Amino acid sequence: MKPKVLSGISVLIVTLLIVGAIFVPAVSADEINPGAIDGTGDDGGTPEVGVEWSTAGGLDNSDDSAGGFYNTLGDAGWTRKFNKGDANALESHFEYFNNGDRNYIDGVDIAFFNGHGSDQHISLGPGKDVFFSSEIEWGDYDLEWIGLHSCHSTAEPGNFKGSHYGLNGVHLICGFETESLNYAEDGPSFAERLLDGENVPIAWYHAMDETHPSDKVVQMVAEDNSV
């Protein structure tokens, strides 16, 4: 099936039509309500979050953005699974080989990456690249949603249906068609909007719209209408 593309300002309209009922649950420290989360992994009834980031190449705010996303959800009652950055951010955390991703990216309900990238890959640092078309199979274990805060990360949706299916159960991959900018506020703003009840694509759109100028375009990739 050809991936569905939701991009730019049209996101606000298209997602309301096809995925208006899909929400990340609003949870607090007193009440855990997984709601729509239904991954096949070991949730134990509690939604889980994990983040990875790279400050290489002058992206000094990546750790604050990813960490802010992680802690905002964690403080609201989500299970914090991992926060790995720079030297501790590894390709094996994202890749399907030997099911290594099941302990990291594909072992949580929502994941967030902040760092450099392109329409072919994300970069965890010098010499550490994860290629979309051949090295990932996200969602076959647990992952429901992922935000790729890097340049052009979702500009070529077909790359997520290469020799290995990056879209392998994950509902939605949020990213950028254009270049992205490195703001510390983006991660926590995305999380806060999810907790306020916005669905995933709307929350991504609004959070990035707060900081990015009009020539920067977000794009979301979904395999079908169940995003």
CATH number for the domain running over 4-222: 3.40.50
pLDDT of residue 37: 40
- In angstroms, the CA 85 to CA 100 distance is 17
pLDDT in tens for each of the 227 residues of the chain? 444 444 443 333 332 222 222 333 333 323 333 334 444 455 567 899 999 999 999 999 999 999 999 999 999 999 999 999 999 999 999 999 988 999 999 999 999 999 999 999 999 999 999 999 999 999 999 999 999 999 999 999 999 986 667 888 899 999 999 999 999 999 999 999 999 999 999 999 999 999 999 999 999 998 765 54
* Angle between helix 186-195 and 200-211 (nearest 10): 140
Report the SS3 class of residue 81: strand
- φ and ψ of 155, to 5 deg: -70, -25
3-state helix, strand, coil in the chain (%, to 5): 35, 20, 45
pLDDT at residue 225 in the model: 54
Q: Are 23 and 35 in contact (CB under 8 A)?
A: yes
Rounded to two decimals, the pTM is 0.83
- Alpha carbon distance, N-terminus to C-terminus of the chain: 14
Kind of pairing between the strands at 218-222 and 172-176: antiparallel
Tokens for 3, please give them.
């991936």
Q: Give the domain ranges of the chain.
A: 4-222
Single out the residue of 136, 135, 174 nearest to residue 155, CA to CA: 174
